[in-house]
Structures are given as C-alpha cells and as structure tokens.
Chain A
Amino acid sequence: KAGVTQTPRYLIKTRGQQVTLSCSPISGHRSVSWYQQTPGQGLQFLFEYFSETQRNKGNFPGRFSGRQFSNSRSEMNVSTLELGDSALYLCASSSRGPDTQYFGPGTRLTVL
C-alpha cells in the first residue's frame, strides 16, 4: 500500500503571495489532518477533514484554509504569506480518527 504523499516537497515564495499544498492519503483512509512544524513552536495542529467536512480546527488565522475532495485528497491554502509561515507542513491520514496516524514526508515552505 502506498503511503501518504505530499506535493510539492519544496516551495519558495515571497511575502504576500499565496500557496497551495496537496496531500494524498493512504488508500481507504478518510481522515486527513494538517500540521505545521517550526523550530520554535514544534508541531501544531492546523485542521482535520473527514469525508469532505472539517471536523476540527487549530488556533491559526483565517489565512490558513483547507478542503478535502471526494477521493479524500486534501489541499491546504495559505494566503498573504508572511515570513513566519516558513515551516515544514505535514499531513497525516487515518482510517477514521482515533487510529494510528500516518504522516507524509512534508512540504518545506520557505517565505522570503
């Protein structure tokens, strides 16, 4: 079974731009969660989608948004990028929620 895939793996953007990250979960998994990892704050929960519905949201500004498609693939969008948005963005999938979470390799976003 293929693991969680994330594209692109690396991104460089400038302040004020917007970016879209993509995550494809393990086949059959319906829950996709997104996390931001920075050296200062560690791993922080952004949001979780299950069957195209957002079930939970972390404490991030509205510039961070996401969606999930009917095939469970998920996208995350960050608008009006700030320097502090530079981070490793990780997505995780699970079959239904309180199960083992499987993480993708991450997208490294650098904002200049």
Chain B
Amino acid sequence: DVKVTQSSRYLVKRTGEKVFLECVQDMDHENMFWYRQDPGLGLRLIYFSYDVKMKEKGDIPEGYSVSREKKERFSLILESASTNQTSMYLCASSSGVNIQYFGAGTRLSVL
C-alpha cells in the first residue's frame, strides 16, 4: 500500500512565525503535491513537484514556498504565517499522470 505521511495532524502557530509542513511518501513517486482545503472552496493546489529540486506553482502559491531535496520528501513552508492561512493542508503523491494518493492532512491554526 502507498503511504503518504504528514508530520503533524494538528498545529497551532502564531502570526508571523515560520511554519514547516513535512510530507514523506514511500513509493518512489516522482510527483508530489500540496493542497489546502477550506469549507466551500474544495481543494486548491498550492505547489507541486515533478522531480527532486523541481517545483511548479499551483493556483494559490502566494505566501508559500516549497522544498524538495529528496525524492521522498516534499516540504511546504509558510515564511510568515498569517491568520488567512488557517486551513487543512493535504499532501499527495503520484507516479506518472495517474492516481494521486493523499496523506491524512495537517490542520493548521494560525492565531
């Protein structure tokens, strides 16, 4: 079974803090994705990566950056957290253009 592991299920941070969300997959997938999910808005793509050290902006990259130094790990960085970044963050991975497998999600609250 594919396993996508997100480092935290719940996080509480203060406005202005730098926040790291980590995601690890164990299936040697080339592609990894970061989404956020908000009520009424569905899932929105923040960033994705096709390979190590490669990244592409999704629909809502503002206020976020990413890092992919190893194939299995994709990190989402909030440089200076703001209250409007309170959300559920979901990581996914896939091989080729096919099925995306999701992690359990990280619910981030920024106070």
Tell me whether A and B are bound partners.
Answer: no
Partner-A contacts on B (CB < 8 A): none
